[in-house]
Amino acid sequence: MKIAVCIKQVPDSWAEKKMVGGLLDRANVDAVLNDLDEYAVEEALRIAEAHGGNEEGGANTVTVISMGPERATEAVRKALSMGANDAILISDAVLVGADAVVTAEVLANVIVKGEFDIVICGTESTDARMSVVPAMMSEKLGCAQLTFASKVTVDPGAKKVSITRVTEAGVDEVHGEFPCVISVVEKINEPRYPSFKGIMAAKKKTIDIRDFASTGAEFTKSWSAVVDSAPRPPRAGGVVVTDDGSAGQKLVDFLSEKKLI
């Protein structure tokens, strides 16, 4: 099997963020591998290991695919240190500020050229929280989308994938054939911590850095943009109620004013 894992480098969740010119300022904050993408990398490695492994000469390969600035190689290296075989990074100035539609278009074109059997993603990125790229990619690829998987079962011989998806209505069993796009939730596994051996091996692994033109994507103009933004206002002081016998009524009035009752 050829397995692709789509990952993203994002600002550290604990970093103070700000918008500059309608774009998130990424240059002046610490950047990390998107937490939710680590589950996708782990699941890809587990699938490969369960069906012949992905070591050199093994039956499977796990390729990490990302779109971002050259700095994103840091996040890519972490995925490689976990055990992925190689990586592709699409890095081009024309893609700065690309929205989900453009991102899905570019990634889908790279995936088509790579002829991958399975594409695995995290449910969403922690910077945008849109959770739409996996579905958009499957539409562009014309293949099945098996999203929000809490369990994945692969049958390479039959070229079939089954997932379990927990919803508000119950538990769904969804099936699809190769090629397909899967997104996994964070409860699916526990991502491995890169070993020292893995970290050293990652330094020697190949990262294929490509520009936008090489992907063959048709457009770079985003369909959405941030028109305006403002810093979150400082937290206001709370309301202090002195209990002179009417505190209960004042509490009811406050909750009613906030439409909480």
pLDDT of residue 189: 97
| 10-residue stretch averages of pLDDT, the chain, 261 residues long | 97 77 78 96 97 89 96 96 97 92 96 97 92 96 96 97 93 96 97 95 95 89 83 82 86 89 86
pLDDT of residue 240: 84
pLDDT of residue 60: 96
State the Cα–Cα distance between residues 87 and 77, nearest whole angstrom: 9
**Residue given tokens 């069993």 in the structure block:** 173
Classify residue 69 by burial, with Cβ atoms within 10 Å: 0-12, 13-18, 19+. Answer: middle
Task: Enumerate the β-bridge partners of residue 155.
Answer: 160
pTM reported for the whole predicted model: 0.87
Q: Which residues contact 219 (CB under 8 A, 6 or more apart)?
A: 102, 105
pLDDT of residue 242: 81
Query: 36 to each of 25, 31, 145, 172, how far by Cα in Å?
Result: 21, 14, 18, 22
Which residue type occupies 132?
V
